[in-house]
Amino acid sequence: MNQKSTSLKLRKPIKPSKKQHGICYLVGAGPGDPGLITLRGKECLSRADVVLYDYLCNKELLHFVPSTAEKIYVGKSARKHALPQEEINECLVQKTQEGLSVVRLKGGDPFLFGRGGEEAEALAKANLRFEIVPGVTSAIGGLAYAGIPVTHRSNNSQLTIFTGHEDPSKEVSSLNYQSLATAPGTKVMLMGVERLSSIAGSLITAGMERTTPVALVRWATTGRHQTITGTLETIASIAHEKQFTAPCVAVFGEVVSLREKLNWFERRPLFGRRIAVTRTRDKASELVKLLRELGADAFELPTIRIEAIQKKEEQEAFAEVVTGAHQYDWIVFTSPNGVTAFFEAFYLHHQDARSLGAARIAAIGPGTAKKIKEYRFSVDLIPPQFVAESLLEEFKKVNVENLRILLPRASGAREFLAIALEDLGAIVDDVPVYNTVPELNHEEGALQRFCNEGADMITFTSGSTAEHFQTLLKNMESPFPTNCATASIGPVTSSVMRELGMLVSVEAEEHDIPGLVEAIVNHFNPHISR
């Protein structure tokens, strides 16, 4: 069939302007524990162009934010404002008008005494898109971590939440102490701990029983979590004596008495212990998570990061061994980083895992073995002790003479294993596949916190973490904190620490992360076993 052809000049579809796509998410960060942010909140952070975050937001949540995103601190603490509220509103409007994905990260829930309503009004007035992402409030979540349920069938069926920090421009308080004092059930006060004596006195005057149980929870759900209890008559003096300052949530009512039975969080074996973790940023989370599950105030203080090799001759040697990997009898991995670097390069050159040929695989430590298995390869040999010396003893049991052995490792790694295997007659290629470099980015403030506040313990999982930690302290012109214990993952790391003049307080018997955690627990709790 003949059809009449017509020449048409096709126009490209008109894309909506970037301005039309701008949106602001008002996200509740939760009470402090980074695990309590909602999945929706985490999703918003992961695709943000700009994040404006508060004083009470756990800065570890910024790990979810793209590295290219702009991060703006707008925090407010007692009598200290990084940015006035009006300027925060203007910034939200401006960034959203630019077509950006903006996240306003707010402690707790954005609509519970968080001025989120004012910010949403500013966005609505400018005809901009916004979304509210609720968060866990400390008024409930923070008290739950203290073992205090805000409601209980045996005690009450009503909850009243009020703020002790009102707009200072108001001439008369909007709090009706008569209503608060006589209302049944639990009362929870957010903020206002600095006015606690006055507030408690007003409640007593209005008719609340002097013997009403009261609890104060400070830095709720975090590693710095603290709780004190008293009565309405005594709590202000107790708080003053204990120097109990903001941020703090107060709860009034009989539910406080349930804390004696339900106090789960503060009974963990490492509760209240401040522990710094020096692993690389992408590896620290596992150790931090395990320590926090045991109650520690664990925080990441990465001293190194992993980078691709840069020297041309090293790149060429790496490419050569990867393309000829099938020629080796053994491939020996000494760390998960070496595994990742090797197999990522391997699959760039090979489409089929069988291209590895008949090479057998050895791994030092279960963490390294686990990483190998993620690439669907079996591990033929794991030494009983997770150090190079133990692996060498295993190789001594077999004849490795004239066998070709590949060691894909960090540039500058110690040469012991390569030399020892060559002494046994093996043909060894000791090839750098990644670099260990100092971590200079500490925007979360962990390094400053360590220098200012110290810690009960600092952990080291390799000699390089110890070396670079010493360099960081020198650059900060800060001495090693007094009364800070050290924990080493094994004898090789301990040896480097001692060479640097560091005392080794704890050394893991099993040279892996679970072994290190067990050693730390035993150090702080010598009379109990896990």
314-336: pLDDT as tens digits:
888 899 999 999 999 999 999 89
Q: Which residues contact residue 513 at a Cβ distance below 8 angstroms, ignoring those fewer than 6 apart?
A: 286, 287, 290, 367, 461, 489
Is residue 342 very low, low, confident or very high in pLDDT (cuts 50, 70, 90)?
very high
| Residue 80 pLDDT | 58
| Residue 81 pLDDT | 58
Q: Which of 49, 54, 109, 297 is catalytic?
A: 54
State which fold the 140-166+175-267 domain adopts: 3.30.950
Total Cβ atoms within 10 A of residue 140: 20
| Residue 437 pLDDT | 82
212-231: pLDDT as tens digits:
999 999 999 998 999 999 99
Q: Are 446 and 437 in contact (CB under 8 A)?
A: no
34-68: pLDDT as tens digits:
999 999 999 999 999 999 999 999 988 998 999 89
pLDDT at 1 over 80: no
Q: Are 275 and 449 in contact (CB under 8 A)?
A: no
| Residue 229 pLDDT | 98
Cis preceding-peptide flag for 247 (omega within 30 of 0): yes
To the question of domain 274-303+439-524 being in CATH 1.10.230.10, the answer is: no
Question: Is 76 designated active site?
Answer: yes
| Residue 209 pLDDT | 96
Q: How many helices (H) and strands (E) does the chain have?
A: 18, 22
Distance CA 382, CA 362 (A): 6
Question: Is 189 designated active site?
Answer: no
Question: Is 457 designated active site?
Answer: no
pLDDT at 148 over 90: yes
Q: Are 325 and 359 in contact (CB under 8 A)?
A: yes
| Residue 167 pLDDT | 56
To the question of domain 312-434 being in CATH 3.40.50.300, the answer is: no
Q: Where in the chain are the domains?
A: 21-135, 140-166+175-267, 274-303+439-524, 312-434
pLDDT at 20 over 70: no
Q: Which of 42, 71, 76, 370 is catalytic?
A: 76
For the residues 253-268, what does the mean pLDDT come to?
96
Q: What is the 3-state secondary structure (H, E, C) of 88-104?
A: HHHHHHHHHHCCCEEEE
Distance CA 233, CA 376 (A): 65
Q: Which of 33, 109, 187, 191 is catalytic?
A: 191
Is residue 473 very low, low, confident or very high in pLDDT (cuts 50, 70, 90)?
confident
Residue corresponding to tokens 């074996």? 269
Tokens found for residue 404: 């070709």
Regarding the domain with residue range 21-135, which homologous superfamily does it belong to in the CATH classification? Tetrapyrrole methylase, N-terminal domain (3.40.1010.10)
- Distances in whole angstroms, Cα of residue 33 to Cα of each of 137, 285, 451, 455: 11, 14, 23, 19
Which of 177-181, 193-197, 309-313 has the lowest average pLDDT? 309-313
Q: Are 530 and 274 in contact (CB under 8 A)?
A: no
